């Protein structure tokens, strides 16, 4: 169906998957592309169905969500699949690692249904880091606790001054609309700056821009 966002589900708890399926199937423009009970099944499902969005629990038996995420992110044939990591706690120790590994964002499992649906749509558009109520605090907490000496700092020399400014705002968790308001430009212009920064920095998605912003010292 044209315009329909196909969503795959990966969680070892059947009850959680059932709840997600019911919520998604009742929403216009969304459909469930399949289910997986562990990370290995999630990777196989992604390769078989090529969903637009994969909702994946970070803690699963056999192959966990992080390992599965890394496999999916490393597969060029799955570049169109955005993985949203589901966590039980706001300060789950896996959150920052998930973002560095290629997650499009994360969501707390007990988030309101409207947040989950918004997360799916935004992930499919590459627009935001999701989980509106906790994104800024969680990203900040895990970025600051990540070893500062881990790997070289990202090279931002190819960015214009405005693109660096936009990158810093993305790192703060602002959406394109919020960036546009902050810089007194149109949303389309803000989106263009974000897209150019992604291309120049070889970022898979917006989540990786946030990681780059923190690692480069633009956001503290």
What's the pLDDT tens digit per position in 78-126? 989 999 988 876 655 677 677 778 888 778 888 889 988 988 988 888 7
In this prediction, residues 113-140 reach a mean pLDDT of: 70
The band of 146, judged by pLDDT with boundaries at 50, 70 and 90, is: low
Q: What pTM did the predictor assign?
A: 0.74
Distances (CA, A) of 66 to 3, 5, 63, 74, 123: 29, 23, 8, 12, 18
Alpha-carbon gap, residue 146 to 91, rounded angstroms: 13
Which superfamily does 5-143 belong to?
Answer: Response regulator (3.40.50.2300)
Same fold, 5-143 and 161-215: no
- Domain residues of the chain, as ranges? 5-143, 161-215
Alpha-carbon gap, residue 34 to 52, rounded angstroms: 12
Class of domain 161-215: mainly alpha
- What pLDDT was estimated at residue 101? 81
Alpha-carbon gap, residue 24 to 142, rounded angstroms: 30
**Is there a contact between 99 and 106 (Cβ–Cβ < 8 Å)?**
yes
| Tens of pLDDT, residues 177-198 | 889 999 999 989 999 999 999 9
| Tens of pLDDT, residues 24-71 | 999 999 999 999 999 999 999 999 999 999 999 988 888 889 899 999
């Amino acid at each position: 169906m044209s315009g329909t966002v196909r969503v795959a589900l990966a969680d070892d708890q059947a009850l959680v998957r059932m709840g997600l399926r019911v919520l998604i199937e009742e929403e216009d423009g969304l459909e469930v592309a399949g289910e997986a009970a562990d990370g290995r099944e999630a990777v196989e499902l992604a390769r078989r169905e090529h969903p637009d969005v994969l909702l994946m629990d970070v803690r699963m038996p056999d192959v966990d969500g992080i390992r599965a995420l890394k496999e999916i992110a490393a597969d060029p044939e799955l570049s169109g699949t955005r993985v949203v990591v589901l966590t039980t706690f706001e300060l789950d120790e896996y959150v920052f690692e998930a973002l560095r590994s290629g997650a499009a964002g994360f969501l707390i499992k007990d988030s309101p249904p409207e947040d989950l649906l918004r997360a799916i749509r935004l992930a499919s558009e590459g627009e935001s880091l999701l989980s509106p109520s906790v994104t800024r605090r969680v990203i900040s907490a895990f970025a600051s606790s990540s070893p500062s000496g881990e790997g070289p700092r990202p090279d931002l020399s190819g960015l214009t001054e405005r693109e660096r400014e936009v990158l810093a705002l993305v790192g703060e968790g602002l959406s394109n609309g919020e960036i546009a308001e902050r810089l007194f430009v149109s949303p389309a212009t803000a989106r263009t700056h974000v897209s150019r920064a992604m291309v120049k920095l070889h970022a898979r998605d917006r989540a990786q821009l946030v990681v780059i912003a923190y690692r480069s010292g633009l956001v503290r």
